[in-house]
Amino acid sequence: MASVQVVNATLPALPQGWAGEKDFKTVGALSGATQRNVEPVGPHFLAHARRKRNNRTFSEDERIQAQHNVKKTEVEEDDDISEDEDPMMLAREAKDWKGQDHYAVLGLSKHRYRATPDQIKRAHRKKVLRHHPDKKAAMGKSDENDSFFKCIQKATDLLLDPTRRRQFDSVDEAAEVEPPTKKLTGSKFYKAWGPVFEAEGRFSNKQPVPQLGDENSTQDHVETFYNFWYNVDSWRTFEYLDEDVPDDGESRDQKRHVEKKNANARRKRKTEDTVRLRELVDECLASDERIKKFKQQARAGKDAKRLAKEAEIKRLKEEKEKAKADEEQRKKDAEEAAKADREKNKKAKEAAKNASKKNKRILKSSVKDVNYFAASGEPTAAQVDGVLTDVDLIMGKIDVDELAVLAEKLTIAGKDGAAVKSAWAGEAKRLVDAGKLKDGEAKAFA
C-alpha cells in the first residue's frame, strides 16, 4: 500500500475590485479551511502505484504508457487494419481534406465501402495513438505540423456519418474494378468479370445483388443476373463533387446559381454513369459463352420441335392418304363383291328360271305322256284343254321350290297315269288345305 501524500492547497485570493461591483451585497462569510485525506482509486490508484514502483514522474509514465499502447494496438490490429503510410499522404495539407482518400488515411484501403463502423473506430484509435501531437510530444518527437492528424479527424468524422460516407463512396474510384480489356474464355471470364459486378453492386438499392456465376450456372440464373443489371436501381449520387455553396453572407443569386449548377452537374454525371453501366453489361453479355450455349440449345430445341411437327404432319398426311386408299379399296372390294353377288344372283335367277321352265315342261309333259288322263284312244280337245287349264292353275299357285318338288314327284311317277294323277291330286289337295285353291276348282285332278 502506498503512503498517503499530503497536499497543501490554499484558496486563491479574490481579484482586486471584485467586491466593488455595483449592487454587490455581502450575505455571508467563507468557512475556514479543512484538511482532507485524498487517496487515488481505480485506474488512478494503479497509475499512482506504477509511478511509485518505477520511480517515475507523471510525464515519464505518460510517455512510456503511450509507447506501450501504440505497440499493443499495432500488434492487435496488424492483420485487420494495418497499412503502410504513404509519405505523400502524411504531407497532405489539412485544407485539402476533400480530395484525400479517407479510407487510405485510416489504413482501410483494402476494406473501403465494406469497412464496418467498428473497424473505422478502431482504425481511428490506432492512428490517433500514433499521430496525436500530444502523444508525439510524450514520445519526445517534436512536430508542430499536425495536418495529418486533422486529416485523420476529417476522415473519421466523414466515414462515421452514413450520409456523408455514402456521398464519398459514390465517387470512390479506388473501389472500382476495371473490366478486362481483352476477350476471355472459360473460367478466366468469370474470375475477371465477377469482381467488376461485385464492386458495382455496392450502389444497388436492392440487396443482395445476383452473382455472375460460372459456366455451370442455369439459364434462369443467367437471365436473372442480366435482367437485374439492365434494370438496376442505383442510389449512386455525386454530391461529393459539388462546388461549395457560398456562405449566407454572399449574394443570394450567386448561391442559387451554384446550387443549380451543382444539380445540373449531378444529373449529367448520373446519366453518364447509367450509360457507362449499360455499356458494361452489354460488353459482358456479348462475351458470355453461356448465352451462346443457351441460344444453341434453344435453336436445337426449335429445330427438334420443327422436325417433330413436320414428322407429325407427314404422319397425319400418310395416315389420311392410307385411310383414303383403304376407303377406296373397301369401296372397290364392296363394288366387286356386289358385282359378283349380282352376277351370282343373275346366274342363280337364270338357273332358277331355267329350272322353273324345265320343271314347267316336266309338269306339262307329265300329263301329255299319260295322254291327258284319257281312258282309251285319243283325248278330246275339251279333255286336253281342261287338263292343261288345271295344270296352269296349279302352277300359278305354287312357288319355284314347290314347283321343283312337284316336278320331282312327276319325274318319279314317269308315264304311270295313276301315279301322275295322284301326284297332281295331292298337290291340288295341299293347295286347297293351304287356302290357295278352292275345293273342286281343279276338276281334272279330282
Give, in degrees to the nearest 5, the angle at Cα 287 between 283 and 289: 150
pLDDT band, residue 6 (cuts 50/70/90): low
Under 8 Å between Cβ of 202 and 113: yes
The closest of 427, 435, 393 to 410, measured between CA atoms, is 427
Distance CA 11, CA 31 (A): 12
Cell of 278: 449499360
Dihedral, CA atoms, 157, 158, 159, 161, nearest 10 degrees?
Answer: 80
Reply yes or no on whether the pLDDT at 289 is more than 80.
yes
pLDDT over 60 at 80, yes or no: no
The partner residues of 204 in beta bridges, in order of sequence, read 234
Closest CA to 182 of 287, 282, 279, 285: 287
**Cα-flanking dihedrals φ and ψ of residue 10, to 5°?**
-110, 150
Radius of gyration of the chain (CA): 66
What is the rounded CA–CA span in Å between residue 159 and residue 247?
24
**Least confident window among 11-20, 36-45, 184-193:** 11-20
CA angle 222, 226, 229 (to 5 degrees): 145
To the nearest 10°, report the CA torsion of 137, 143, 147, 152: -40
Lowest mean pLDDT among 272-286, 311-325, 406-420: 406-420
d(CA 77, CA 115): 14
Q: What is the pLDDT of residue 75?
A: 52
Mean pLDDT of 328-350: 87
1 has a pLDDT exceeding 50:
no
- In terms of pLDDT, which residue wins out, 172 or 303? 172
pLDDT tens digits, residue range 18-71? 655 556 666 777 777 777 777 777 787 888 888 888 888 888 888 888 777 766
pLDDT tens readout for residues 213-270: 999 999 999 999 999 999 999 999 899 999 887 776 567 888 888 889 999 999 999 9
pLDDT in the model for residue 193: 94
- Please, what CATH class does the domain formed by 82-172 belong to? mainly alpha
Mean pLDDT of the chain: 84
Separation of alpha carbons 302 and 153, rounded Å:
65
- pLDDT value, residue 132: 79
Quick check: bond before 208 cis, omega within 30? yes
Mean pLDDT over 148-161 rounds to 92
Domain ranges (residues) in the chain = 82-172, 176-287, 358-434
CATH topology of domain 358-434: Helicase, Ruva Protein; domain 3 (1.10.8)
Say if residue 386 is exposed, middle or buried (CB neighbours under 10 Å; 0-12, 13-18, 19+): middle
The predicted model gives 72-86 an average pLDDT of: 60
Render pLDDT for 411-430 as a digit per residue (tens, 0 to 9).
Answer: 888 888 888 888 888 888 88
Q: What is the predicted pLDDT for the residue at 229?
A: 95
Q: What angle do CA 408, 413, 416 make, to 5 degrees?
A: 155
What pTM did the predictor assign? 0.54
- Mean pLDDT on 346-357: 82
Residue 304: what pLDDT? 84
Which of the pair, 136 or 349, is modelled with greater confidence?
A: 349
DSSP letter at 372 equals G
Residue 94 pLDDT = 78
Q: What's the average model confidence in pLDDT over 285-308?
A: 89
pLDDT at site 21: 55
Compute CA 340 distance to the chain's CA centroid, rounded to the nearest angstrom: 70
pLDDT at residue 137 above 70? no
**Nearest Cα to 69, choosing from 134, 13, 12?**
134
Cβ atoms of 168 and 186 within 8 Å: the answer is no
Percent pLDDT > 70 in the chain is: 88
Percent of the chain with pLDDT over 90: 35
For residue 16, pLDDT beyond 70: no
pLDDT at 81: 59
